[in-house]
Structure formats: C-alpha cells, structure tokens
C-alpha cells in the first residue's frame, strides 16, 4: 500500500520529521514501512509518502497524525513564537528542518560570517564549520547578497594532477568534494543542487584551478585548508573580488601533506591574525554536533597526542 500525507508548513514538517529525521527513521523501524518526504513544486507544500503493508501504513499514519496534533497543541502554548522560521534559525532545509547553531562558537562563527568578508574556522571534525559555511552561503545566495557559490578544496591525494582520471572536471573532483555535496543535498535536495551546478550558480573547482581568477559577487568556501601549502593559501586569499566573501575551514590535527609544518592554514593564523576584516574562530570538542562518541574520541586523541608531545620534547632539547 502507498499513502500520501500533506503537511501544512515547515513548522509542522519539522514536528513530524524530528531533528535530523529521527522521528521518520524510528517510524520506519517500528512499522516496517518506507517514508519519503518531498516538496510539491506548485504549492511548495511538503508531502510524506508512506509505502508498506496496509496495516503498517495505517498505523504509521496514525502515529504521524498524533505528532501533528502534539505540535499544534505545543504552538498554542507558545504564542510568542511565530510560524515559519523559529527564533535563532538561519535556514530551513528542503525537508523543513530549521538550522540553528548549537554552541556559542557556532553562533559567533555565523555572526562573523555576516559581518566580515573573510572568516577562518579551525577545529575538529563534526563541529559544523563546513556545514554552517554552506548554510550561510545558501542564505546569502537566496537573499541576493551574492550571485553564486564557489566550492574549492585541495586535492592532496591526486597531487592536484587530475588529467589521468576519467570523466569531466566534475567527475574528477567529485570524490574529494563529496562532503560539501552532502551538505547541499541535505539542505536543498539533489535535484535543486544539480540545477544550480548546471547553470553555474554553484561552481565546484579544485584549488589548483583557481589561479589567475578574480571572483566577484560570490560566496567562496575553501574546505580542508589544512592541506594547502602557504603558496596555495596566498593564491586563494588573493582571488577575492568586489562583493565577495570567503570562508576557510580546516582541521590542523588532520594534515595530510608531507611537511605538516608547511600547512597554509597553520601559517595563515600566524600571518593574518592582526589583519582587520579577517576573523578566526577556534572550535573544540565542545562544539561537536555529531554522535556523542565523536566528542569523546576527539578528547581521547587529544590526550594521547599530548602525551606523545611530552615524550618527544626532551629529544628536541638534546
């Protein structure tokens, strides 16, 4: 059996789906059904499509309607919160999820992106530095503050020499930029992302191909910047044109280039920290918004690496 259910607005969609679609995932497990969420092009309304055995589909629909009623009752008791985007939300995803910062560092990061032309976010995996940069880029694109989004990343594994790989440029760099695509798929859906890419509203380019360009009226994201060398970082920083904004992200604990001391991201903090118009944000394990274990893993590695540094220090003094 297949049933469709129309949701009234983004608030109701969020109530039904849950944070990161956790309600839908649980429903699929509980009732052995498959649930898809889509947006109707003409009306803009969100639709849930439920497929599975008849009794299971009906039971899942009853549970969903209960969630809708709970959400409606909750809104009546919160008259100060308007419908639409809730207080503090920066963006609403294609599934109705409202994106909000989780930590003080994330809030500061988003404010700096609004106020400064160049923001550099440094921190471990899972702190939202890349995802929030993508969210900010989409918000600025859709508000007309920029005309396009440019994504770039150093292609360390291929030594920036992509000619021997099969396919066009998109195919060649696809494996290296996949984490950025995942953020766009989540926020605007694969179909809209494909359209933006085809008309070059979103451009994807390896860092080596940025040389010689001046980028105007664009939001530019340099991801995995810890794997740049100083010359590449300087080259990227000097691409910024009128009406453009750049966000650089990286994790200096995961440097893949041979000479880790020559990381362009590490050196940029020393060189640019006193330049007005540039803001650095340092994330920590407290900002991690992935699985709780990720935070503990980062802490454990920090402790282990700290012990290694203590063991090495006497040798340096010999």
> Is residue 207 assigned to a domain?
yes
162 is a domain residue? yes
200: region left, alpha or beta (phi > 0 left; psi from -120 to 50 alpha): left
Among 30-39, 62-71, 284-293, the range with the most confident prediction by mean pLDDT is 30-39
Q: How many domains does the chain have?
A: 2
Q: How far is CA 272 from the centre of its chain?
A: 25
Per-residue pLDDT, 155: 73
Q: Report the pLDDT value the prediction gives residue 234, as an integer from 0 to 100.
A: 93
CATH code, 215: 3.40.50.300
Considering only residues 132 and 297, tell me which one the structure prediction assigns the higher pLDDT: 132
For residue 297, is it within any domain? no
Confidence of residue 80 (pLDDT cuts 50, 70, 90): very low
* Pair of tokens at residue 191: 């179909």
CATH number of the domain residue 50 falls in: 3.30.1370.10
**Per residue in 84-126, pLDDT tens?**
334 456 788 888 888 888 888 999 999 999 999 999 999 988 8
Q: How far, in Å, CA of 2 to CA of 236, rounded?
A: 51
Mean pLDDT, the chain, integer: 80
Question: What order do you get walking across the sheet with 278-282 strand by strand?
Answer: 202-206, 148-153, 218-222, 245-250, 118-122, 278-282
CA distance 4 to 79: 30
* pLDDT tens track for 135-190: 999 999 988 899 999 999 887 653 444 555 555 555 666 666 777 788 898 899 88
Residues 112 and 251 in one domain: yes
Q: Residue 312 falls within a domain, yes or no?
A: no
Residue 3 scores a pLDDT above 90: no
Residue 106 to residues 88, 131, 287, Cα–Cα distance (Å): 12, 11, 7
Q: What is the pLDDT of residue 137?
A: 94
- Return the percentage of the chain with pLDDT > 70, whole number: 77
CB-based contact 124:50 (threshold 8 Å)? no
119 and 209, same domain (yes or no)? yes
Comparing CA positions, the residue from 109, 274, 93, 146 lying closest to residue 101 is 109
Residue 107 token pair: 């809030």
Place 42 in a pLDDT band, splitting at 50, 70 and 90.
low
Domain residue limits at 142? 101-291
pLDDT tens by residue, 267-302: 998 899 888 889 999 998 777 766 667 667 777 877
**H helical segments located in the chain:** 10-17, 22-31, 54-76, 104-115, 129-142, 169-188, 190-198, 230-237, 264-272, 292-317
DSSP 79: T
Two structure tokens written together for 261:
């001391």
Query: In terms of Cα–Cα distance, which of 152, 125, 117, 121 is closest to 232?
Result: 152
What the block records as the tokens of 137 is 């880029």
Whether 305 is covered by a domain: the verdict is no
Distance between CA 194 and CA 167 in Å, rounded? 17
**Of residues 7, 294, 263, the one with CA closest to residue 125:** 294
State both tokens at 287: 């900002």
Q: Are residues 128 and 256 in the same domain?
A: yes
Residue 94, in any domain of the structure: no
Task: Find out whether 55 and 1 touch, Cβ atoms under 8 Å.
Answer: no
Determine the Cα–Cα distance for residues 152 and 161; give it in Å rounded to an integer: 15
Cα separation, 132 vs 119, whole angstroms: 12
Position 85 scores a pLDDT of: 37
Q: Is residue 143 domain-shared with residue 278, that is, in the same domain?
A: yes
Residue 133 contacts residue 224 (beta carbons within 8 Å) = no
Residue 254: its pLDDT value, please?
A: 87
Is the pLDDT score of 65 beyond 60? yes
Please tell me whether residue 106 adopts helix, strand or coil conformation: helix
Do 116 and 239 lie in a common domain? Answer: yes
Same domain, yes or no: 269 and 155: yes
pLDDT average, residue stretch 41-49? 71
- Confidence band for 218, pLDDT divided at 50, 70 and 90: very high
**What is the C-alpha to C-alpha distance for residues 304 and 261, in angstroms, rounded to an integer?**
20
pLDDT at 70 over 80: no
| End-to-end CA, the chain | 75
**Among residues 69, 24, 74, which one has the least CA distance to residue 49?**
24
d(CA 114, CA 100): 15
């Amino acid at each position: 059996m297949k049933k469709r259910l129309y949701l009234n607005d983004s608030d109701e969609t969020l109530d039904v789906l849950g944070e990161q679609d956790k309600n839908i995932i649980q429903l699929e497990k509980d009732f052995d059904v498959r649930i898809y969420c889509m947006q109707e092009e003409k009306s803009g309304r969100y639709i849930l499509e439920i497929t599975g055995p008849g009794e299971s589909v009906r039971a899942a629909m009853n549970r969903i309607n209960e969630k809708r009623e709970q959400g409606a009752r909750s809104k009546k008791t919160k008259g100060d919160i308007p419908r639409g985007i809730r207080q503090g939300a920066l963006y609403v995803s294609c599934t109705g999820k409202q994106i909000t910062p989780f930590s003080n560092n994330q809030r500061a990061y988003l404010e700096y992106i609004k106020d400064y032309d160049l923001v550099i976010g440094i921190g471990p995996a899972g702190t939202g530095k890349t995802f929030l940069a993508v969210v900010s880029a989409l918000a600025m694109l859709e508000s007309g503050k920029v005309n396009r989004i440019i994504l770039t990343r150093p292609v360390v594994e291929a030594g920036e020499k992509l000619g021997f790989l099969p396919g066009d440029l998109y195919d060649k760099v696809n494996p290296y930029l996949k984490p950025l695509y995942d953020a766009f798929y989540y926020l605007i859906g694969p179909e809209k992302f494909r359209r933006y890419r085809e008309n070059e509203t979103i451009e994807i380019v390896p860092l080596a191909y940025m040389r010689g360009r001046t980028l105007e009226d664009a939001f530019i994201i340099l991801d995995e910047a810890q794997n740049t060398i100083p010359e590449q970082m300087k080259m990227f920083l000097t691409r910024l044109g009128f009406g453009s904004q750049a966000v650089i992200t990286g994790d200096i604990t995961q440097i893949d280039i041979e000479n880790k001391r020559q990381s362009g991201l590490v050196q940029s903090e020393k060189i640019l920290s006193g330049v007005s118009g540039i803001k650095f944000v340092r994330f920590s394990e407290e900002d991690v918004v992935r699985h709780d274990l990720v935070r503990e893993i980062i802490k454990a590695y920090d402790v282990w690496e700290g012990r290694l540094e203590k063991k090495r220090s006497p040798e340096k003094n010999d």
